[in-house]
Amino acid sequence: MVKLSVIVPFYDVRQYAPDTLKSLRANVRDDFEFILVDDCSRDGTLEILEHAARELPGAVLVRHERNGGLATARNTGIDTARGAYLTFLDGDDWIAPGYLPRLVAAIEELGCDFVRTDHVQCTARARSVQRVPNGRRGVVLNPRDAILPADRSTSVDYAYAWAGVYSRRLVDRGLLHFTDGLRTAEDRPWIWKLHREADSFATVGLLGVFYRRGVASSLTQIGDVRQLDFLRAFDQVIAETARDPDAGELLPKAVRTYCAIMAHHLGSIERFEPAVARQLRSRSAAALKRLPQDVLARVMDTMDPQRASRLRRLRRRPVSARTVAA
């Protein structure tokens, strides 16, 4: 029986894939499988993966005929996985030797639906430890209790799918899949769904994932229209949270996070292509009008003045009914 499935999407990461694969080799175990999903790479990544599939014990190579984006590639991996537990890694990141056995031991000891871990952020040669914003460690908790408070960073703001391990129970309940086609912010609806609907989780102080930040090919560094998928992602968060029995308590957190991300993008709008910048303004204005207006007003009253002013100006912008409904 396969104990752990490690799902690793790759797309045009020829420069980094060898380090990623080397780190997987340092975590091989007879009951581990490594699902390598090539998302229609064009830069020679596929050739590296084909070689790895022959040399890496437990490797399973799956290739997309069309590029679908990270969310879709992860879903392909989930559908292929046979493990009792699943975890993720991005094709330009890496893990420490022996990390995966420790990760499995943590979730088996705690017996919960999912476990979140800290990680190391790597920007050029700089290293910094990023911790899950949850002070209680090694204790099984109700995931819903970790969503609030609205005005502080909480576990739903730590939306890194690869910083954790997940029981197959979540797959069986339809909670682990991502929204197909999302090109950015794909982790946001996913982490909110987990915290609203899973039964149990825990945070552990286990370091072993190294997140490579600032990669030129990463969507976080590219100012094209794919970046605007954050609007679709957060629209989904708002819509699903609005249907929750505790919507009155949870919506202020969801709206505040949406507004913070929107203000962040608007504050660095010069990095977007001109046509995309125009779309960002118009679609953000429409998104603000779709939000519950009473909740939005309260949220903006508690935001820092610069961000709140930016959003208030956008909120006053005329938007067609068709655009608001889109």
- Per-residue pLDDT tens for 252-297? 999 999 999 999 999 999 999 999 999 999 999 999 999 999 999 9
This prediction's pTM: 0.93
Distance CA 319, CA 284 (A): 10
Beta carbons of 250 and 240 less than 8 angstroms apart: no
pLDDT band at 321; cut points 50, 70, 90: low
Q: Is the per-residue pLDDT at 87 higher than 70?
A: yes
Beta carbons of 315 and 285 less than 8 angstroms apart: yes
- Per-residue pLDDT tens for 161-194? 999 999 999 999 999 999 999 989 999 999 999 9
Specify the pLDDT at position 213.
87
Distance CA 214, CA 218 (A): 7
- Per-residue pLDDT tens for 203-243? 999 999 999 987 654 444 456 788 999 999 999 999 999 99
Question: What's the average model confidence in pLDDT over 97-110?
Answer: 98
DSSP 165-190: EEEHHHHHTT-S---TT--SSTHHHH
Domain boundaries, given as residue ranges, for the chain: 4-220, 223-325
Q: What is the CATH number of domain 4-220?
A: 3.90.550.10
Specify the pLDDT at position 263.
95
